[in-house]
Structure 1
Amino acid sequence: MNNFYASVECMLDPVLKKYPVAVCGSVEERHGIVLAKNYAAKAFGIKTGDAVWQAKQKCRNLVVVPPHFEEYIKYSKLARNVYQRYTDQVEPYGMDECWLDISGTDYTFGPPEKVANDIRETIKFELGLTISVGVSFNKIFASSIRI
């Protein structure tokens, strides 16, 4: 899922979509780093792992939000439920990525590119999130050729 933590935050609070947003750990607890950011924040050169003070130097109007891991877990599970409609061969890779083996599903769902587009559209429509999908004969190529 694209910019997962930041995308969930922007979906939950649509006002955030207008601004560069970074999901950051707590400065008070000395975990003040960027965990995720949206495309607007990326445009300012903000990177995952930047200290909050560095990110704010790069973008003065950066909106910093705390992480809401319970929401990320919820949306991760909802996305996996969508994937499981297409195959029971779902292999999670972190909270925001999965490998799906859809070989042999052409008869039911159509060619792999159609399945990829269907999944992408379903996630957008049902969850309000965007995803990138790679289609190939193995995981390495699939993750490098995302559509």
Structure 2
Amino acid sequence: MSTSSGFLKVAEGRPGGSGIVTSRDFAPGETIMEVTADVELAAPTRFTLQIGVGRHIDVGDIRYLNHSCAPNAHFAAPAGRLLAEREIRAGDEVSIFYPASEWDMACPFLCECGADTCIEFVSGARFLPREVLARYRVNEYVLVLAEAQDEEPPGSGGK
């Protein structure tokens, strides 16, 4: 994993597949890890994180960071940091809300997080109502893309 964190591990054989689990506690707002790119791409893949308009990074084992509609972490793309959204205990799986950083995902999927606020189908912020996005801490470039989409004339086909 391309991180400055030795307390995150990929846990395999979990229900729903592999995930990233921490071996220490984190307080809300605390940096869980610094994220640096192994590779930068212009288009998303199943394993990338979006860091800006037309900018996606592959960062090794962080590809196992799972989605939740009730996430305990946030990927702050401009700062290159994964931050605790709420208290995280040792042994917890770390999860993020993918549309907070992903505009249009390469591999959409049915969500099985079980949260009361579950969006059910995860395909990127582009496909979510603005009131849903407003419930989450969303990266600025996602808001810029949403605003541009809102300003498009009807029938223009979107971005």
TM-score bracket for the superposition, by shorter chain length: under 0.3
Q: Which has the larger radius of gyration?
A: 1
TM-score (ref. length: structure 2): 0.23
Question: Which of structures 1 and 2 has the larger relative contact order (alpha carbons within 8 angstroms, sep 6+)?
Answer: 2
